[in-house]
Amino acid sequence: MAEKVTIATVARHAQVSRQTVSNVLNAPHIVREETRRRVQEAIAVLGYRANQAARQMRTGRSQLIAVRIEPTQDGINGSVLDRFLHGLTETAEAAGYRVLLYSATGDDHEIATFDDLLSAYDLDGFVLTGTDHGDPRTAWLAERGVPFVTFGRPWDDPESHPWVDVDGADGTAQATRRLLEAGHRRIAFIGWPEGSGVGDDRRAGWRTTMAAAGLDGAALNRETEDGITHGEREMRALLAADEPSTAVVCVSDSLALGALRAVRDTAVPVAVTGFDDTPVAAAIGLTSVSQPLAAAAARCVELLTGQLDGQPTDPHVLLCPTLVLRHTA
């Protein structure tokens, strides 16, 4: 059994003091070239790795960032988080951090978990996904000066804390423009009820694009909860109107999937686009707006490590999605 190799082992092997080894690791510039090389060689030979726990104890930093893993909702969007997590893990590793998962039911529970993670594990920062209006979690963290980033804008005050987000309005605008170019005029929108930041943003992209083309979409706007059946119902309503829609932009792939069902046997083909480019969309050939999740994750890590290492970065990042064309539009 190989006995553990500590900084002292390295020091002895390189004929220097512990502190010098530490300096080589944490402040290389203050060590003479030749000494540094000798120490680094010893490190390599012995396979030394700094013990995280010991370092953490002195510095209070754990090199750990926490992300909540949410219960897979209706499942369709589950893979979004999955891809995001993957990007997060990879970028964090490159920056010398690791990702810790936690789960929580409800904001109170989550805040209690923050407290636990901070005091027991000395967590360095948090990445929050899906923030709401007046989110108590961000308030709690900000109050205590805990570094964090949200994936999703704070809709009340964009300046309140660092965030990364994807421009949903731009996504639906792209989709709408594409449909306009294809000659469509009666382009409907099936979205979520007014009030959710994300949903309103996506609706706005459709609305302004329609307006810019001199079209009034008021009668073509539908609001409903997320879900396949709801999407189907709303689409049927749109088709049954005096002037039926010939295309529809949906706020999610779930709704788009429902819409697709409704248009399966229409005489004239109806174009459908979804949002999030979930595996379902790919599987059935649904045109959908794709979020750059890996990039978003990377920027989250950058913002977070920027705060931690005191490198000021522009704390607000808005990324553009891309429209993935398949055969439904």
Partner DNA sequence: CATCGGGGTTGGATCGTTCAAGGTGGCGAG
Partner DNA sequence: CTCGCCACCTTGAACGATCCAACCCCGATG
Contacts of 221 (CB under 8 A, 6+ apart): 188, 189, 191, 203, 207
Which residues between 109 and 148 bind a second copy (CB under 8 A)? Answer: 115-116, 119-122
| Burial (Cβ within 10 Å: 0-12, 13-18, ≥19) of residue 185 | middle
Shortest distance, position 61 Cβ to DNA, whole Å: 9
Q: Please choose which of a second copy, DNA, none residue 7 contacts, taking the beta carbon within 5 to 8 angstroms, the exact cut-off set by kind.
A: DNA
Residues 6+ apart with CB under 8 A from 292: 166, 319, 320, 321, 322
Out of 279, 292, 308, 315, which residue is the one contacting a second copy (CB under 8 A)?
Answer: 279
* Residue 278 contacts a second copy per CB under 8 A: yes
Chosen from a second copy, DNA, none, partner binding at 284 (C-beta under 5 to 8 Å by type): a second copy
**Residue matched to tokens 């900000």:** 142
Q: Min. distance of Cβ 2 from DNA in angstroms? A: 12
> Residue 122: which of DNA, a second copy, none does it interact with, CB under 5 to 8 A by kind?
a second copy
Minimum CB distance to a second copy smaller for 70 or for 132 = 70
**How many angstroms separate the Cα of 10 from the Cα of each of 7, 32, 45?**
5, 17, 9
E strand or H helix at 317, and its extent?
strand 316-319
Shortest gap between Cβ of 4 and DNA (angstroms)? Answer: 4
Q: Which stretch binds a second copy (CB under 8 A): 67-75, 157-165, 172-180, 188-196?
A: 67-75
x/- string (CB under 8 A) for a second copy, residues 24-63? -----------------------x-xxxxxx-xx----x-
- The angle at the Cα of 296, spanning 294 to 298, to the nearest 5 degrees, equals 70
CB of 8 to a second copy, least distance (A): 15
CB burial class (10 A; 0-12, 13-18, 19+) of residue 276?
buried
Binding site for a second copy (CB under 8 A): 4, 47, 49-54, 56-57, 62, 64, 69-72, 74-76, 78-79, 81-83, 85-86, 89-90, 93, 98-103, 115-116, 119-122, 228, 254, 257, 278-280, 282-284
